[in-house]
Amino acid sequence: MTTLTMYQVDAFTNELFRGNPAAVLVLDDWLPVETMQNIAAENNLAETAFLKRNTSGWDLRWFTPVHEVNFCGHATLASSHVLLHEMAVDGELSFETRVGTLRVHKTDAGYQLDFPSFNPEPVTDILGALKDITGRNDITAFQNFENVFVELENEQAVLDFVPDLPKITAFDPFGMVITAKGDEHDFVSRYFVPHAGIPEDPVTGSIHSTLVPYWAGKLGKTQLSAFQRSNRGGHLLCELSGDRVLITGSAVTFMKAEIYLP
C-alpha cells in the first residue's frame, strides 16, 4: 500500500468555505494516468492538481472528475500555496504545463500568477446556440481555445442567468463564460463546464487569461478588479502586461490528509 499526502485548499479567497477548492498532491514521480484520474473523481472537486519536481522547477497537471485539462488557474494557485506556505519552498515558482511556463510568487496581496494572455477571437459556428441559451438575439460573443464567452448587459443579468446545462454540455469541448461590467468591480463573470463534471466553477483563473485582455481593451485600462459571481465567489486582482496576464489572489488551507493507494 502507498501512502500519499494530499492538501485541500480554498483558492481566490482568504476565508474558508469561499473561493474555489482544489486538491493538491506533490509527487516524487507521476502516478499512472488512470490512478490520477481516479483520485480526481474520488475527490469530486473542480480540479485536483498533481506536481513533481523537474530540473528547474515543477511539472504540473490538472484533472477534473472526468478528464485531464489543459489549463487551470485556481489549482495552480492552490499548488503554489501548498509549496510556499505548507512546505516552505523558497522563491519564485516555475511550473511547466500544457499551456507553457506559469510563474508564481508571493506578494503582500497574496500570490501573483503569471499566465499567458489568450486574446478573444470571433465565435464561429455556435453563435445561434449562444443566442438560444441566453435568450438574446443581439449578443457580443467571443472565444478562445477552450471556452466561449458572452457579454451580458449588466452584473444583475449575470447573477440572474439560469444555465441550460444540457445545451451547454453540447458545446463540448468548450465551456461557457458569461461576463458583464461590474457594479463594484471592473467586471464580473460566471463559468459553466458541465461536460467536464463541473456544472458551475466557483472561481476560475484560466478564463481571466481572455477576460482580462477583453475588458482591458473595452475599459481602456490594464489594471482590473474582477469578481466571479458564483455562490462561493472569489476576487481576482488582474493586470494585462504585454502578452501576459498577471492575477493576484489569496488562498487558505482547509485540509491536510493521507490517502492510501493499493
The sign of the torsion formed by the CA atoms of 207, 208, 214, 218 equals positive
pTM of the model: 0.96
Active-site residue flag, 47: yes
The answer to whether the CB of 153 falls within 8 A of the CB of 177 is no
- Give yes or no for residue 223 having a pLDDT over 90: yes
**Which amino acid would we find at residue 182?**
G
- Tell me the average pLDDT across 219-233: 98
Confidence at residue 125, expressed as pLDDT on a 0 to 100 scale = 83
Distances (CA, A) of 25 to 5, 60, 140, 235: 6, 10, 40, 25
The architecture (CATH level 2) of 121-247 comes to Roll (3.10)
Confidence at residue 61, expressed as pLDDT on a 0 to 100 scale = 98
**Which amino acid would we find at residue 41?**
A
Percentage of the chain modeled with pLDDT above 70: 100
Active-site option among 47, 146, 151, 155: 47
Residue range 191-212, pLDDT digits in tens: 999 999 999 999 999 999 999 9
CATH of 2-105+250-261 among 1.10.420.10, 3.10.310.10, 3.40.50.300, 3.50.50.60: 3.10.310.10
- Tell me the average pLDDT across 104-130: 94
Parse the chain into domains and list their residue ranges. 2-105+250-261, 121-247
Angle at 200 between CA 197 and CA 204, to 5 degrees: 100
Distance CA 212, CA 245 (A): 7
The answer to whether the CB of 236 falls within 8 A of the CB of 208 is yes
- Give yes or no for residue 235 having a pLDDT over 90: yes
The answer to whether the CB of 19 falls within 8 A of the CB of 251 is yes
Distance CA 58, CA 181 (A): 36
The answer to whether the CB of 10 falls within 8 A of the CB of 250 is no
| b/e per residue 8-38 (b: at least 16 CB within 10 A) | bbbbbbeeeebbbbbbbbbeeeebeeeebbe
Distance CA 209, CA 206 (A): 6
- Residue 104 pairs with which residues in a beta bridge? 93, 113
Distance CA 169, CA 126 (A): 13
Residue range 121-164, pLDDT digits in tens: 999 789 999 999 999 989 999 999 999 999 999 999 999 999 99
Confidence at residue 124, expressed as pLDDT on a 0 to 100 scale = 78
The answer to whether the CB of 209 falls within 8 A of the CB of 115 is yes
